[in-house]
Structure formats: structure tokens, C-alpha cells
Amino acid sequence: MNADLSSSSSIPSTGVNPEQDISRKGNFLMDEGFVYITLGFAVIAAGLIFWMAAIITQKAWPALQTFGISFIWSTDWSVPAEKFGALPYIFGTLVTAGIALLLAVPIGISVALITSENFLPQWVRTPLGFIVELIAAIPSVIIGLWGIFVFIPVFLPVQQFLHQTLGWFPLFSSEPPGPGILVAGLILTVMILPTISSISRDVLRSVPVTLRSASMALGATRWETIFRVMLPAAASGIVGASILGLGRALGETMAVAMVIGNTKRITPSLLDSASTIPAVLANEFAESHDGLHLESLMLLGVILFILTLAVNIAAVWIIQALSLKGRE
């Protein structure tokens, strides 16, 4: 009997309660299930995107067979003659989005700094950030109406001054008609500003406090800490916010269609009217019929899809490069 007791006492005890073991297995299964569910949703989302791209490409294929790759750099767009080219619309899309990005990025970063740092009292910073973010909730058609009836009349004297003063420069060489490329770029600036500022603010707030404290402890001033520590540490997030804003600018439709003038031209002057791919789709799609016109509009949609995809791929590369550089 003593031998039995000694042998039983020599068996090591795992110390694991069977109920705890069942609970751990249940948690593991829940974690695995959550992973597979989220993976399924991700695959469905990607599949929907490629499905839409395939449908649009199928509809646009006859136009691509008719015009070939020259559709991209052709400037013709005549419905009666059934001659179509995308270059004026690609030009308008890229220029207006470039103007918006060029203006919105510094303004958005400034707003992010003002609302994340204690330059102003809390009771001023909070409403300011809320008001900027509230712009994103305004429908684009409302912003377009505001652009037509308020912004263009107010901004027209500024355009005239630019033409009279800097008319020798190609960017301001034409007499401003009111609607135009510069107006559309400024309207897009207002529309993408909330995206850039709100994400940049969250990224700046997520920078570890130890980096700020270490910089200040080494004798750096506040602005040196911001420009040499905070902004470089948040660079990848700010780039991501800027690319999201650029994607919004590339695909914006109604507001741009209402203020750009909708003319098929390529001009060096920012004061001239022009058009964009989303604008021409909004203006002509309802009136198009089966044939080359509809197929050419579909081909414009494919080009816009490729532009947006290329921008996002470039953004991923830039963010990864900045992250690797930051780790070094």
C-alpha cells in the first residue's frame, strides 16, 4: 500500500483544470473562426472589385478593338462621327486632382498639427477638428451648388487679377470664363481636406510620447521636435492619408462636373474650362446608346479604374519604403 502511495505521488500534476482547458480550446476555436470569417469577407470584397472590373472591361472591349491603344492619347470626341479619345479627360482628371493634392496636403497637415498639439486651448481645438471633419458629410452635389452660386462669383475677380498680372505665364494666359480647372481643383481641395487632416491627426497622436520627451530632453525646440521627430515618425501614415485623398479627388463626379466647365480641351492655362473622366461619364452616360459611344464611356471607366489602382499600388510601395527607412 505504501508502494502504491509513493508511486501515485511521483506522478507530476499538470495543474490545468479541465474546465480551463475546455475554455482555452473554445477561445482558440473562436479566434480561428474569426480569422477565417474576416479572410472570407476580404476575399469577397476583392472578388467584387475584380468582378466589376471584368464586367466594365467586357463592355468596353469593342471600343478597345476599334480604337486600340491610341484611344488613350487621341483628342477626338465626336458622337456623330463616332470618333472618341480619352486624352482631354485624362488630362483634366490628373490636373484637377494634382491641384487638390498640392493644396490639401500642407493645409491638412497644418490642421492636424493645430488640433493635435496644444497650440490652442482644448475648447478651440475640439470644435475646429469637428468642423473640418464635418465637411466630409456634405454631399458633393451641395458642394457643387455652393461652388456655382457662391465660390465662382467670389473667386472670379481673383482669376481676373491673376490673368491681368500674370497673363504672360502659360498657367494664367487665358481670360477666365468663371468655371475652370483651377476652380475645380479648389473645390476638390475642400472635399479631400477632411480625409487628410483627420487621419494625419490620428497618426500624429499615435506617435509615442517618449520620442517627444527624448527630443525635448536633448534640447530641441518645439518646432524642431515637430519637424525632425514627429512628422518623420508619422510620415507613412500621412502619405497614406494623402493617397486616400487623391483617390477621392480622382473619382469625384458631381461637384467637379458642376464647376469645371465641361469642355473637351487640353490647355496649359488653369483658368480655362476642361472636363474629367467622372464628369463626362455623369454628363453623357444617360444619353448614350448601344454602340461605340457607350463602349467608349465604358473604356473611360476602365482607364479611371487603372489610374486609381496604380495610385494605390504606388501608395503601398511608398508607405512600405518609409516604414523600412523609419526602422533603420
Q: In the 3-class helix/strand/coil scheme, how is 218-253 assigned residue by residue?
A: CCCCHHHHHHHHHHHHCHHHHHHHHHHHHHHHHHCC
Distances (CA, A) of 275 to 56, 91, 143, 281, 293: 21, 8, 17, 10, 17
| CATH for 257 | 1.10.3720.10
Q: Report the C-alpha gap between 327 and 230 in whole angstroms.
A: 15
What cell numbers appear for 146 in the block? Answer: 455652393
- What is the model's pLDDT at position 11? 45
Residue 185 lies in a domain: yes
pLDDT at 133: 81
Tell me the torsion sign for CA atoms 22, 28, 31, 32.
negative
Residue 48 falls inside a structural domain: no
Residue 92 lies in a domain: yes
Helices (H), the chain: 2-9, 18-67, 87-116, 122-134, 140-146, 152-166, 181-206, 209-217, 222-225, 231-233, 235-251, 254-259, 277-284, 292-327
pLDDT digits (tens, 9 = 90+) for 132-151: 888 888 888 999 999 999 99
26 part of a folded domain: no
pLDDT at residue 119, rounded to an integer: 78
Model pLDDT, residue 325? 65
Cα separation of 239 and 60, whole Å?
Answer: 33
Q: pLDDT value at position 8?
A: 45
Q: How far apart are CA 273 and CA 263, in angstroms?
A: 6
Q: Output the pLDDT for position 327.
A: 60
Q: Could you give the CA distance from residue 56 to residue 50 in angstroms, rounded to a whole number?
A: 10
Model pLDDT, residue 10: 47
pLDDT value of position 300: 93
Note down the domain range covering 292: 60-327
Q: Are 156 and 236 in contact (CB under 8 A)?
A: no
Burial tier of 11 (Cβ tally within 10 Å: 0-12, 13-18, 19+): exposed
**How many domains is the chain built from?**
1
Question: Does residue 242 lie in a domain region?
Answer: yes
The mean pLDDT values, 10 residues at a time, for the chain of 328 residues are: 46 53 63 84 90 90 90 88 90 94 93 84 81 84 93 94 91 90 94 90 86 84 86 87 89 90 90 92 83 90 90 81 66
Task: Specify if 9 maps to a domain.
Answer: no
Inside any domain, residue 31: no
218 occurs within a structural domain? yes
